[in-house]
Amino acid sequence: MKAHEYQARQLLADAGIPVPGGIVCDNADQAKAAFEKLAGEGATLCVVKAQVHAGGRGKGGGVKLVKTADDALEAAKTMMSKPLVTHQTGPEGVPVNKVMVAAGVDIAKEYYVSVTLDRARSRPVMIASAEGGVEIEKVAEENPGAILRQPIHPLMGMQPNQARTMAYQLGFTGQQVKQAAAILMKLATLFTKLDADLVEINPLIVTPPTDEHPDGQVLAIDAKVTFDDNALFRHKDIAEMFDPTETPASELKAKEFGLSYIKLDGTIGCLVNGAGLAMATMDIVKLHGAEPANFLDVGGSASEEAVTEAFRIILDDPNVRGVLVNIFGGIMQCDKIARAIVAAATNVGFKVPLVVRLEGTNVEPAREILEKAQSDIPTMQTATDLTDAARKITAAVPAEAA
């Protein structure tokens, strides 16, 4: 689960990491008031930022610098009037329901720092770079030497010497070192405390020297936090941060029924048990020249009702021109799927071609059920194996539709 920027900044601030004030707004009038408040505190320049999960907001028009309260109002109004399209959202974009107004901060230098899981070492790792403010993936690709990695002991947590060393290696000097090391320590602790997948500050900045801060101040400007969905049961407060508006309605519906569904752009709807087999089924559809309309894992213990709902979700997708069912029964019993197909035929109706491939537990009774139902479901064909199934569904769906 992803947090919005304003939520992530709050989590960082709560952990004692210095984050310049930002005000989250539900409408343009609030954005105007927010500017006035920040201006009253001395800000001469503010930034209005669309609160969406997708990256690439700046290029998509979701980040605007403003110098007056009226400009803030206009910027917020424009952003919230239409979906925001970035390279991560797809062409339909995502709705902007909130914007954040933050005081502009003078920046002397930008850094990157995050904590995530190092899968190969089965422990958290802190990743940092003195090349901040840009996409870290790009830095990793173009200048891998500019990225520092510090594994964090699973039981000990980050040690002060590690944070200090990293601060020096990043090039912090004077009073900055202590400030930066403290932030790194707090970020590592926060990762564990939140059961996070990722906590990221990009950029972490140093402000130009002033009389009050001759070495500048180290501040977190933008933050990103994503959570381990499996751990949300012990973080009720975090679970409440979930914003359903950026998730397609079909995916929310699927979740309700315990189905794992992801909408894609193709025309062949796929209903499969098991995540690996579901991916493999998408792959074989593609190998046969068509594009999958979705990933759908019904899981091992889905009820007949849930499987029927799965068919409804697939068939509700207007792009779907054909449906491929691929079940290898283990815990899932094939006859349950067969009954769900019959129920879906009655309750939803298969107007598009349907190819069913069943193997495994209770496959014989399942085949009998489908044989009996064949006359009622004229668009249905059965397949003997994966290749046969992929061939039949791609042959049944006209090429121009695929």
Partner 1 sequence: MSILVNSDTKVICQGITGSAGAFHTKGCLDYGTKMVGGVTPGKGGLKDDNGLPIFDTVSAAVEGTGANATMIFVPPPFAGDAILEAAEAGIEVIVAVTEGIPVADMVRVKAALADYPGVNLIGPNCPGVISPAESDPCKIGIMPGYIHMPKSKASTGKAVGIISRSGTLTYEAVWQCSERGIGQTTCIGIGGDPVKGLNFIELMDMFQADDETDGIMMIGEIGGTDEENAAAHIKANITKPVAAFIAGRTAPPGKRMGHAGAIISGGQGTADSKIKALTDAGIAVAESPADMGDAMSRALGLG
Q: Catalog residues that contact partner 1 under the rule CB under 8 A.
A: 88, 117, 119-120, 122-124, 136-137, 140-141, 153-155, 192, 195, 197, 228-231, 233-234, 260, 262, 264, 272-287, 291-292, 295, 297, 300-301, 328-331, 359-361, 385-387, 390
74 catalytic per annotation? no
Tokens 């003997």 correspond to 384
Tell me how far, at minimum, the Cβ of 96 lies from partner 1, in Å. Answer: 19
Tell me how far, at minimum, the Cβ of 129 lies from partner 1, in Å. Answer: 13
Tokens 């061939």 correspond to 391
Is residue 231 within 8 Å of residue 253, measured between CB atoms? no
Q: CA angle at residue 224 from 222 to 229, to 5 degrees?
A: 165
Joined together, the tokens standing for residue 18 give 């210095």
Is residue 333 within 8 Å of residue 274, measured between CB atoms? no
The span from the CA of 123 to the CA of 296, in Å, is 30
Tell me how far, at minimum, the Cβ of 315 lies from partner 1, in Å. Answer: 21
Q: Which of 112, 137, 251, 261 is catalytic?
A: 112
Joined together, the tokens standing for residue 280 give 């493999």
Tell me how far, at minimum, the Cβ of 324 lies from partner 1, in Å. Answer: 13
Q: Between 32 and 263, whose beta carbon lies closer to partner 1?
A: 263
Give the residue from 127, 42, 134, 31 showing the smallest Cα distance to 77: 31
Which residues are bridge partners to 63 per DSSP?
A: 49
Q: Between 229 and 368, whose beta carbon lies closer to partner 1?
A: 229
Non-local CB neighbours of 236 within 8 Å, separated by 6+ positions: none
φ, ψ for residue 264, nearest 5 deg: -125, -170
Largest Cα–Cα separation, the chain: 86
Q: Between 283 and 305, whose beta carbon lies closer to partner 1?
A: 283
* DSSP letters for 164-222: HHHHHHTT--THHHHHHHHHHHHHHHHHHHTTEEEEEEEEEEEPPP-SS-TT--EEE--
Tell me how far, at minimum, the Cβ of 38 lies from partner 1, in Å. Answer: 33
112 catalytic per annotation? yes
The span from the CA of 12 to the CA of 221, in Å, is 10
Q: Which of 5, 6, 111, 200 is catalytic?
A: 200
Give the residue from 159, 169, 153 showing the smallest Cα distance to 118: 153
Q: Between 35 and 227, whose beta carbon lies closer to partner 1?
A: 227
Q: Between 33 and 386, whose beta carbon lies closer to partner 1?
A: 386
Is residue 101 within 8 Å of residue 38, measured between CB atoms? yes
Tell me how far, at minimum, the Cβ of 339 lies from partner 1, in Å. Answer: 19
Q: Between 213 and 286, whose beta carbon lies closer to partner 1?
A: 286
Residues with active-site annotation: 112, 200
